[in-house]
């Protein structure tokens, strides 16, 4: 079945929480996608979300999955529900796109890609920001050899300060969250897109501040007890021989470090926040006096303010395109490899051993438009 030739892909969303509006507004930018309806465990939320956007409110998740008028399910439930909801949707014969992490653990995620193949459907996963103009401009610079052979990378996963803006951020400080599984996927996915697959991981992690005060407007909790590591440092060994140093922290509130830098034999590339699509990619050759901003390989998705950069939908369009025969870039296979690397930081911290990854992932096809 192809979509774009005959009709748009019909999308149903499961989970109508904080990120829901950004999916609805973001997906509206893609003519290939048409949002049909939504479902949530909390039916009052389903009704409000559906009324806000003039879409169908399904009575339950089962009702949405039983509708033959839904082609793609977007799973934006919290991480601990990702695997079960995705599995149910795949078994219902739907193509599925799930928010990051692809599942809360490697063990939960492992059967899902095979399940998708058995069910004859495609399975995609966030993040999708590496499809944007910044990551693709950096990718082209590397592919064109502008910094020579990459030798090392630095990535610094910063604090999202969710205590100050998310009404119920508890899941971000519990297993399945933390800087590693909440924001780490944006950084490691971007790095796999640039450098290729990861072979080994070693790291140390800990809980920093054990209780977080929630100050967000409209909050439904006043404080959070932290039950997952919030500060980690890791050494990432890429299969190509590139060595990465990765810091991930919900304890560092202010800093001067870059988001991602790639160091090559001929120069350095500095890359903006991989939690957004666009921004300046800057390069400085080893013997150049100044940094220069590279022209983007295609126009940015919009202004650099967070309201635009946080819009979602590119990965759902990528999935619909893959059903139509285009390369599947934001694939669950890629997300699984990234999850395995992030979980390995914890494993290594516990065992004090270097972890060799069992999975790999191809660099996704580069985008030129």
- Residue 338 found at the interface with ligand NAD (CB under 6 A): no
- Residue 25 found at the interface with ligand NAD (CB under 6 A): no
Nearer to ligand NAD, 15 or 321 (CB): 15
- Residue 78 found at the interface with ligand NAD (CB under 6 A): yes
Query: How many distinct helices (H) and strands (E) make up the chain?
Result: 11, 17
* Nearest residue to the partner ligand NAD, using Cβ: 17
- Residue 79 found at the interface with ligand NAD (CB under 6 A): yes
Nearest distance from residue 99's CB to ligand NAD, in Å? 4
Stretch 95-134: interaction string toward ligand NAD, x if CB under 6 A: ----xx----------------------------------
314 Cα distance to chain centroid: 11
Nearer to ligand NAD, 267 or 315 (CB): 315
- Residue 208 and residue 360: Cα distance in Å, rounded? 31
CB of 248 within 8 A of CB of 180? yes
What are the residues facing 124 on neighbouring strands?
97, 331
- Residue 162 and residue 362: Cα distance in Å, rounded? 32
How buried is 319 (Cβ within 10 angstroms: 0-12 exposed, 13-18 middle, 19+ buried)? buried
Nearest distance from residue 268's CB to ligand NAD, in Å? 29
CB of 147 within 8 A of CB of 268? yes
Residue 267 belongs to what H/E stretch?
A: strand 267-271
Residue 48's SS3 state is: helix
CB of 353 within 8 A of CB of 202? yes
Give the binding range for ligand NAD (CB under 6 A) out of 71-79, 201-209, 298-306, 325-333.
Answer: 71-79
Residue 307's SS3 state is: helix
- Residue 33 found at the interface with ligand NAD (CB under 6 A): no
Contacts to ligand NAD from residues 51-70, by CB under 6 A: 61
Among 10, 16, 278, 316, binds ligand NAD (CB under 6 A): 16
Give the binding range for ligand NAD (CB under 6 A) out of 11-19, 129-137, 148-156, 229-237.
Answer: 11-19
Pick from 333, 359, 344: nearest CA to 112: 333
- Residue 18 found at the interface with ligand NAD (CB under 6 A): yes
Nearer to ligand NAD, 213 or 307 (CB): 307
Q: By the criterion CB under 6 A, which residues form the site for ligand NAD?
A: 14-19, 40-42, 45, 61, 76-79, 81, 85, 99-100, 166, 168, 171, 182
């Amino acid at each position: 079945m192809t979509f774009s030739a005959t009709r748009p892909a019909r999308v149903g969303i499961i989970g109508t929480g904080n990120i829901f509006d950004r999916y609805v507004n973001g997906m509206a930018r893609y003519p290939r996608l048409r949002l049909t309806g939504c479902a949530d465990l909390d039916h009052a939320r389903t009704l409000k979300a559906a009324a806000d956007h003039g879409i169908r409110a399904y009575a339950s998740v089962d009702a949405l999955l039983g509708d033959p008028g839904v082609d793609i399910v977007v799973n934006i439930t919290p991480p601990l529900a990702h695997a079960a909801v995705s599995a149910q949707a795949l078994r219902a014969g739907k193509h599925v796109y799930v928010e990051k992490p692809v599942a809360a653990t490697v063990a939960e995620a492992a059967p899902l890609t095979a399940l998708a193949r058995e069910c004859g459907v495609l399975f995609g996963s966030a993040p999708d920001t590496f499809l944007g103009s910044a990551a693709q401009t950096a990718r082209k610079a590397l592919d064109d050899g502008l910094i020579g052979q990459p030798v090392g990378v630095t990535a610094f996963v910063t604090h999202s300060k969710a205590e100050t803006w998310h009404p119920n951020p508890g899941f971000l400080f519990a297993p399945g969250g933390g800087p590693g599984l909440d924001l780490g996927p944006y950084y490691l996915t971007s790095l796999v897109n640039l450098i290729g697959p990861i072979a080994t991981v070693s790291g140390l992690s800990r809980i920093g501040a054990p209780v977080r005060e929630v100050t967000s407007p409209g909050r439904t909790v006043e404080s959070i007890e932290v039950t997952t590591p919030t500060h980690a440092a890791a050494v990432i060994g890429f299969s190509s021989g590139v060595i990465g140093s990765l810091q991930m922290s919900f304890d560092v509130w202010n800093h001067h470090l870059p988001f991602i830098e790639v160091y090559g034999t001929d120069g350095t590339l500095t890359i903006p926040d991989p939690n957004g699509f666009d921004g300046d990619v800057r390069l400085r050759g080893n013997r150049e006096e100044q940094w220069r901003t590279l022209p983007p390989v295609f126009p940015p998705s919009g202004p650099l303010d967070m309201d635009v950069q946080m819009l979602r939908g590119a990965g759902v369009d990528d999935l619909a395109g893959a059903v139509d025969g285009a390369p599947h870039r934001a694939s669950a296979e890629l997300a699984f490899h990234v999850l395995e690397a992030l979980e390995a930081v914890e494993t290594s911290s516990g065992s004090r051993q270097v972890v060799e990854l069992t999975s790999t992932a191809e660099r996704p096809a580069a985008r030129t438009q």
